Amino acid sequence: MVSSRSGVMRGVHHVRYLIAVSLLAMFALSACSVKPALPRNMALKAFDPYRNDFVCQYEVNNVPPIDAQADAWFQEGLRLTSRDLPPNQRNYPKAVELWQKAADKNHWKAMMNLAGVLIDGDGFAPYEVAAEPERAVQIVERGMQLGIPAAFDLMGSFHQNGAGVTGDISRAYGFWELAADKGSPSAQTFLGKALSATYDNPREGFWGNRKVGLKMLECAFAQGYGKAAYELGMTIRGTRPELNEDNNRALKVLHEGVKMGCEDCANSLSSNFRNMSPLTNNFIDTARSERYSALGDALYHNPDLRFPNLDKILPLPPAKLPNGTAKQNR
């Protein structure tokens, strides 16, 4: 009886062993057939508008080096699609060809421009480019795999608009926050503005986390991002120190923004110097207003312009304007 019982138990163990081996083999085959999630579907930390802090990262430290030949292709593509050209003369097909060649060499700016054109299509006959949303998303995914902050930012916009991916505003904010933490000045500016309110209104897309919001705006501004200069200047104008408001600094930030190529900064300063404004200490200066307006017009036609020597032709008061006497009043 004992030997019979032992024989039965050995048989049971053998069957269990075979079952276990079969299950392991099935799991192994299943694991091999399961593909990793595409970057567009990556796991994301939920957006936290009430985060306690923000550590400033610069985009330049988190992008691949730019190849000289690739940059020449990129610049030529910009020239072919410049706002200086009439719309029906902007050669988007050729620009797409050049930007693809540059993207193949990991030129991150070319990758982002290429994806931006292909997501919806662009141009006018005979230089029209058809939309290729899947190709656009794949380009951005490759940028994400390279760690490019702007790629995470753009993927957030794709999710916001349902462009090439399923629309999901929660994932959009998750991507934008990740992009901001990685150094994207665009994402830092967008979220910085959203968090710099004095109270919460999620339905309208803003929250009262001013400390963190200002840190994001300051970080983007320090990177030379013109739009950040405008949002920071508009946020800190005023006279309430408890909100970090300071008209004098706001004026300087907007002026620096003009140097960075910020059209809105130029137009805002033109308006403030033309009218009685606390931002300029109620100092009306029509000559300064006209010069800022001319710079705003120039930037509308060519957003790539920069004015590093602006102070030589348009210094802030109390310095006098060169080349003529300003029409100044108080």
Q: Are residues 14 and 136 in the same domain?
A: no
The residue-averaged pLDDT of 189-212 equals 97
For 127-143, how does the pLDDT look when each residue is reduced to its tens digit (9 = 90+)? 999 999 999 999 999 99
Instruction: Please provide the size of the chain in residues.
Output: 330
State the average pLDDT over residues 182-187: 98
84 with 162, same domain: the answer is yes
Is the torsion defined by CA of 225, 231, 233, 235 positive or negative? negative
Report how far residue 220's alpha carbon sits from residue 224's, in angstroms, rounded to the nearest whole number.
7
- Domain shared by 125 and 272, yes or no: yes
Type of residue numbered 244: N
> Are residues 61 and 26 part of one domain?
no
* CA atoms of 161 and 136, how far apart (whole Å): 14
The C-alpha atoms of residue 222 and residue 243 are separated, in whole angstroms, by 20
Q: In the prediction, which pLDDT does 84 show?
A: 87
pLDDT tens figures, 46-72: 999 999 999 999 999 999 999 999 999
Considering the domain architecture, whether residues 106 and 16 belong to the same structural domain is answered as no
Picking from 106, 116, 156, the residue whose alpha carbon sits closest to that of residue 136 is 116
**Co-location of 96 and 9 in the same domain:** no
Answer whether residue 45 is part of any domain.
Answer: no
Let me know whether 253 and 187 are in one domain.
yes
Is the pLDDT confidence value at 8 over 90? no
- Lowest mean pLDDT across 73-77, 114-118, 249-253, 320-324: 320-324
Q: What CATH code is carried by the domain that includes residue 246? A: 1.25.40.10
Domain-embedded: residue 40: no
Q: How far, in Å, CA of 182 to CA of 178, rounded? A: 6
- pLDDT bin (cut points 50, 70, 90) of residue 17 is very low
pTM, to two decimals? 0.86
Residue 242 lies in a domain: yes
Alpha carbon distance 169, 171 (integer Å): 5
Pair (276, 228) in one structural domain: yes
Using CB atoms within 10 Å of the CB of residue 37, give its burial: 0 to 12 exposed, 13 to 18 middle, 19+ buried. exposed
State how many domains the chain has.
Answer: 2
The DSSP secondary structure of 161-172, one letter per residue, reads HTSSS---HHHH
Most confident of 5-9, 18-22, 141-145: 141-145
Is the confidence at residue 30, as pLDDT, over 80? no
Residue 108 and residue 59 share a domain: yes
| CA–CA separation, 147 and 149 (whole Å) | 6
pLDDT at 74: 98
pLDDT for 5: 39
Q: In this structure, what token pair is assigned to residue 279? A: 């931002």
16 and 63: one domain? Answer: no
Q: Are residues 15 and 59 in the same domain?
A: no
Instruction: Please indicate, yes or no, if residue 178 is contained in any of the structural domains.
Output: yes
Domain of residue 82 covers: 51-329
- Residue 129's CB is within 10 A of a number of other CB atoms, namely 17
pLDDT score recorded for residue 36: 61
Query: In this structure, are 151 and 297 located in the same domain?
Result: yes
Q: How far is CA 89 from CA 75, 98, 106, 114, 304, in A?
A: 17, 17, 28, 18, 19
Q: For residues 176 and 197, what is the distance between their CA atoms, to the nearest angstrom?
A: 18
Question: Does the pLDDT of residue 29 top 80, yes or no?
Answer: no
